[in-house]
């Protein structure tokens, strides 16, 4: 005769204890897997045949560029505005923002939406490669000979020649806020 048949009350109590322990384990807050120290999670994208990256902490989402409405009286690097689910966002061309030379054909068919505080802006990209982790110790200081890009906007360059941009510096640049007023012709 099995031991469980001898004392059904003890067996039932043991099951309750097991179930109670399982319920407590499942009810605990899950531990958030922290990024290992020395790693930087970035979104990699291609712009004019160069590989760039931005910290994912500043990326809200990536979407396809469908319709772009030009916006008069804005700096040349602001190409226009888009409507993303009812939200109107300015779209910036980083090549123009950084005064980079136009080289190669460019599709500019993806919009990476960056966010910091209350400011959100879209930047154009030819292709988004995906999210990856970059080892911070392997990121080197940018070379002063890097064409067109000010070191102020760079976090560094990885061993694989991935140019890591400083999204916070881009978003806090005073040029991103347009305060220009247009005088309307008098009647």
The 10s digit of each residue's pLDDT in 119-164 is 899 999 989 999 999 988 888 887 665 566 777 888 989 988 899 9
pLDDT of residue 4: 47
- What average pLDDT is seen over the chain? 81
Handedness of CA 123, 127, 132, 138 (dihedral sign): negative
User: Has residue 22 been placed in a domain?
Assistant: no
Kindly report the CATH number assigned to the domain that includes residue 117. Answer: 2.40.50.180
pLDDT of residue 144: 60
Please give the tally of structural domains in the chain.
1
Give the structural domain span for 131.
39-176
User: Has residue 103 been placed in a domain?
Assistant: yes
State pLDDT tens for residues 17-46. Answer: 888 887 777 666 544 334 456 889 999 999
Distance in angstroms (rounded) separating the CA atoms of residues 59 and 122: 10
Distance in angstroms (rounded) separating the CA atoms of residues 162 and 52: 6
User: Has residue 27 been placed in a domain?
Assistant: no
What percent of the chain is predicted at pLDDT more than 90? 37
User: Has residue 130 been placed in a domain?
Assistant: yes
User: Has residue 182 been placed in a domain?
Assistant: no
User: Has residue 14 been placed in a domain?
Assistant: no
Taking 80 as the threshold, does the pLDDT of residue 180 lie above it?
no
């Amino acid at each position: 005769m099995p031991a469980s048949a001898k004392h059904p009350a003890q067996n039932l109590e043991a099951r309750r204890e097991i179930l109670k322990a399982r319920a407590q384990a499942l009810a605990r807050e899950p531990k958030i897997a922290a990024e290992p120290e020395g790693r930087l999670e970035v979104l990699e994208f291609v712009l004019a045949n160069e590989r760039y990256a931005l910290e994912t902490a500043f990326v809200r989402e990536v979407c396809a560029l469908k319709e772009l409405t030009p916006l008069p009286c804005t700096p040349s690097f602001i190409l226009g505005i888009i409507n993303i689910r009812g939200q109107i966002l300015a779209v910036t061309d980083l090549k123009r923002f950084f005064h980079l030379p136009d080289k190669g054909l460019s599709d500019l068919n993806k919009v990476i939406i960056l966010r910091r505080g209350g400011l959100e802006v879209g930047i154009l990209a030819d292709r988004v490669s995906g999210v990856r982790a970059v080892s911070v110790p392997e990121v080197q200081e940018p070379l002063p000979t890097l064409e067109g890009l000010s070191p102020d906007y760079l976090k560094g360059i990885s061993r694989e020649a991935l140019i890591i941009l400083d999204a916070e510096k881009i978003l806090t640049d005073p040029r991103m806020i347009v305060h220009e007023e247009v005088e309307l012709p008098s009647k």
